[in-house]
A and B are shown apart, each in its own frame.
Chain A
Amino acid sequence: MSVETATSKPAPAAPPGPGRLHQRPARPAHWGRKALWLLVSLIVVAAFWSVKIKWSALADFGPQLVKYLGLMFGPPDWSKFGEAFSAVVLSVQMAWIGTVLGILISFPLSFLAARGLAPRAVNWPLRVLFAVIRAVPEVVIAILILSVTGLTPFTGALALAVGSVGTLGKWGYESFEGVDPGPKEAVRSTGGGTLALIRWGIWPSAAPEVLSFWLYRFEINVRASAILGLIGAGGIGKMLTDNVQFRNWDAVGMLLLVVIVVTMIIDQLSGAVRNRLVNGSWRPPRSRGRNRPRR
């Protein structure tokens, strides 16, 4: 090739003087990084080594999967579609009520948990409470609430509400604290109290983000409501686990389709509204591509 000699000439000798830029540096060792990778690899290896799994079951997973997919979708059993539809509606209703109650509880609490809006002695217990709630799965919360309200959809909604308080509370105080200090100072300088500060200094800036979090939590609750069916709180989850238990695979296939379609529709709607709230447009922001090279 004619360019063979292009850069193979001897490099110019490094000139003397303050020429740190002219000297090839030694390759950094990155001991910390290597140690971290070693630790992570050890953990992964240890997990694979100690977990009790019959890996041989994977061998016929392919054929098994094909067989079950065939049972489920070839074709699905639409005879119980009416029942499934009302079950999925009930799940969505549980998710909605759970989200609304969660908002009602978490909204005032997240102001109290935000630094600068309430004394530290109030901030910290609330933050710990949010963290504790976040750590406990919704099903476990539902098991606890069970004894109070019995095995009803309302129990499920309450469990979702309590679960929502953990995340909504945290997201809430984080975005209240993240608000640009300019408007806050402006309200303070006019002699406004804490309520005025919240209404005019914080809420206008934080509102789009917070409203979008509420919707996002609703999306999460729609999924979580299906889990609550497991312990008998009703809804699509109960119908699904029942049918799996009795191996009515064609009904399971139908139920899965219903869940997928309803969840996707809700996600699309909620996603569009969230984009509208945050970016002012119903569609997601476009990638910042420009002058895209073509193949």
Chain B
Amino acid sequence: MSPDRQSTTAVEPERYELRSPSYVRFESNRRGFLKFLGSGVVVVCAAPRTAGSQESGRSRRDSEDDLPRELDAWLHIDPSGGITAFTGKVEVGQNIRTSLSQAISEELHVPPASIQLVMGDTRLVPFDMGTFGSRTTPTMNLQLRRVSAAARDALIAIAAKKWNVDPASLTAENGRIVDTSSTRSATYSELVKGQQITELLPSEDPLIPATQWKIAGRTLPKVDGRDFVTGKHRYPSDYKLPGMLFGKIVRPKSFNATLISADIREAESLPGVTVVRDGNFLGVAAETSVLAARAAASVRAEWKSDPQPSNGELFDYLKKNRVPKDRDDGSVHEIGNVKEAFSSTEHRLNSTYQIQYIAHAPLEPRAAVAQWDEDHLTVWTGTQRPFGVRSELATAFHLPEEKIRVQMPDMGSGYGGKHTGDAALEAARLARAAKRPVKVVWTREEEFTWAYFRPAGVIEVSCAANGDGKITAWEFRNYNSGTAGIRTYYDIPNQRIEFVPVDSPLRQGSYRGLAATANHFAREVQMDEMAAFLKMDPLEFRLKNLKDDRLRAVFQEGAKKFGWEKKKPSNGVGFGMGGGYEKLGYVATFAEVFVDSGTGTVTVQRIVTAFECGAIVNPDGLRSQVEGANIMGIGGALFEAIQFQDGRILNPHFAQYRVPRFKDVPKIETVLLDRKDLPSVGAGEAPIVGIAPAIGNAIFQATGQRLRSLPLAPDGLKATVKS
């Protein structure tokens, strides 16, 4: 294990994760907020110590920003016994509304269903950078447990005072404080009645260890599942306000276009239509979505843009277009003497790997409803960064942030794709002009075109190893795709790892696991290549170069479940593996792939993933995340790629951009390693990193073909396999 990884459990936010340039933070009126909560017990805290800030040796700024520095209310128990908790994290399908409820429930000794969790409402919740980087479980879960423990202790103190007993003789049980020395007990509601207590979080509170968890650590179904199967839940795109208009944006034909002229006369002549032209922004608002679409289509706009690169030249372009010096934030990590090690080691390999742009394609496209009240703006929108969107709106409309409220109803997924507030800005601009609330919902084509993509990349890897299978030197250069997961977790004495930032031809940003998907792909395929070159078993080769016990464990447990050593692939079938460490989680994925030698069709038949993320909070929720990551990962591994030409997306529809469907799904087995002795960490991202190399390596075993570009086989292997 590399020493600087061992020393920190904080995750450095990936470069593309943070898109808005700065966070101008205005004083918010928290005093008013506390008054709004009324009587009862309120737990407030400031500058809390978290897993991040406690243990981080580096990226101080980022881990400190993990939680707010101002005084904030996190939990409130009102006199009727209602429990409300507040968090800036948002629910996007990763099921944290449930797992965070479990955390609160555990420490506060109340049923999870009795907790109301207010999420992602910038007016009500403490500041939060956003829901990304798998930070919810390591940071927010811990924070809410601490807050809940403080509330429990406050209730015990109230009861101790009331009954004039030693607090040590009191315990919390199922919504009551119980006096263990007598039969006396009181409900939380009885205790907080008439109280006005603000409990400041102490610097240390004893939390219930995972080994003694009764509610956390067990499977709990989605807390509001019924609202989803009945269609009752309102997603951002379902919001509706009285008098609301529908907005539609007039888009240019290509990226980076400048609006030259626009004939809006016909649109303006339509009944009740508002047309807005503001800089490069051109949009309409109308009484119905049909009328808005008609008005937008009637606008004759002329745009100007310069020629732009296309897919065909992408990888060449990435290698030749390093960002100019003044913006260059490239990095080099070097240990030992790579040059000397390469020249003195017997076996050497050089490979180049390529990664295409892919789209998140969340099933719910970007959506927002905006409403102005004088100079106050309220927006309901689907985003992973409500406070980030508030900041974007403040900048765009020259407003102080306290005049803007962003609310984020649990949305139809994001996968890192909804960090920005595009739809919110558009809806707000139209609403200001129309003087009515406006809703903007992107079409699928807009979502595929005007969102942003997982970065494309070129990765060059060189590896040197001795005949006994010990790697001596490792050189790794990543152009553009990013730094997440760029370091090797294999124990290699001489390393040079470089990131080269590039002026991306397409708008790019965060994605589930981000560059870790690309970096793990290149690294784990290279490992397989070297093992094959040395005629060693790929598992044995990895373990020979791996000291990290947690990573060894997932490889070994996964191999056991898969039957790695027992099973020998038969005709057309290949086995492969890929694994690693990402966002504090450990993963090893094994794939069984069948390649039809007649048709070249590639079928993933079986996947086994072993995963470890500390003490498990919700086993079935975790299993679902691992399964889902594998299935989503099959798309990026085998067939997903954005096709573009001269600033246009050529495949902006589900009929053209293939995503995994029912028939693409193999048998999936998940092995969860529950480490109750370790802090719980996130699981939304790490499980996706092993699948692409596992499939690529399995294809090699099945066919002898080494595929080094993602997607591996968008049209099968037809062209290269003889029948």
A, B assembled together: no
Contact surface of B with A, Cβ cutoff 8 Å:
none
The residues of A with any CB-CB pair to B shorter than 8 Å are: none
